[in-house]
């Protein structure tokens, strides 16, 4: 008897779920839809359409397309950190981690010093609290390479890197805005 109740409740909940869905098939004029797939994709991107499940989105629908190539803060960080190899650069995770690279030798010349830079993106906006730059230092004994000490350091280097990223991002944003403004002018002239 319990199996029948569970089956019945599952069936009812599935029916309620299906009846609450919107009709995915709406009337469209074939003359408004491009035939070429690439043109359809471009049109959907321009209109802000994408796959959306309605969770946490506004009621007007469509998806938000933030790509790494269009985010000036991300591009600036990659350009500023191009002097060192990266171990992790995750745009969706909002983090860039460099590989260990050689720093200056320790004062007493008995240890080797290596640094690692981590940039965390807290916002897509170009502002001082939008990124966090931290530096870790690894000191290893030259006598016994297994004896290493790793710690996060507070250094002026992190502030200098953060400032350089923000300056570069501002320059990239101005260039992007100018380019978009020129495109709009060209579009209005042709129409």
Give dist(CA 24, CA 191) in Å, integer: 34
pLDDT at 59: 47
Give dist(CA 47, CA 187) in Å, integer: 17
Residue 17 is assigned to a structural domain of this protein: yes
Range of the domain at 125: 69-180
Give dist(CA 121, CA 98) in Å, integer: 15
Residue 191 is assigned to a structural domain of this protein: no
Residue 10 is assigned to a structural domain of this protein: yes
Residue 190 is assigned to a structural domain of this protein: no
DSSP type of residue 148 = E
Residues 85 and 115 in one domain: yes
Residues 88 and 37 in one domain: no
Q: The pTM is what?
A: 0.59
Contacts of 189 (CB under 8 A, 6+ apart): none
pLDDT at 29: 66
Residue 55 is assigned to a structural domain of this protein: no
pLDDT at 50: 57
Q: What is the mean pLDDT of each run of 10 residues along the chain (191 residues)?
A: 75 72 62 72 66 48 54 91 91 90 71 91 87 92 84 92 94 87 73 60
Number of separate domains in the chain: 2
Give dist(CA 5, CA 81) in Å, integer: 61
Print the SS3 string covering 105-142. Answer: CCCCCCEEEEEEEEEEECCCCCCHHHEEEEEEEEEEEC
């Amino acid at each position: 008897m319990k199996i029948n109740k569970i089956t019945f409740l599952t069936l009812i909940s599935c029916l309620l779920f299906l009846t609450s869905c919107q009709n995915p098939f709406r009337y469209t004029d074939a003359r408004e839809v491009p035939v070429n797939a690439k043109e359809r994709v471009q049109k959907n991107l321009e209109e802000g359409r994408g796959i959306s499940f309605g969770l946490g989105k506004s009621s007007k629908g469509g998806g938000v397309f933030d790509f790494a190539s269009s985010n000036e803060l991300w591009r600036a960080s990659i350009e500023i950190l191009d002097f060192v190899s990266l171990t992790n650069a995750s745009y969706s995770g909002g983090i860039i981690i460099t590989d260990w690279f050689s720093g200056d030798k320790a004062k007493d010349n008995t240890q080797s010093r290596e640094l690692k830079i981590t940039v965390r993106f807290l916002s897509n906006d170009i502002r001082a609290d939008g990124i966090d730059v931290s530096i870790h230092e690894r000191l290893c004994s030259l006598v016994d390479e297994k004896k290493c000490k790793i710690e996060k350091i507070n250094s002026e280097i992190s502030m200098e890197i953060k400032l350089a990223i923000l300056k570069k991002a501002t320059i990239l944003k101005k260039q992007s805005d100018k380019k978009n403004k020129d495109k709009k002018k060209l579009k209005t002239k042709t129409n």
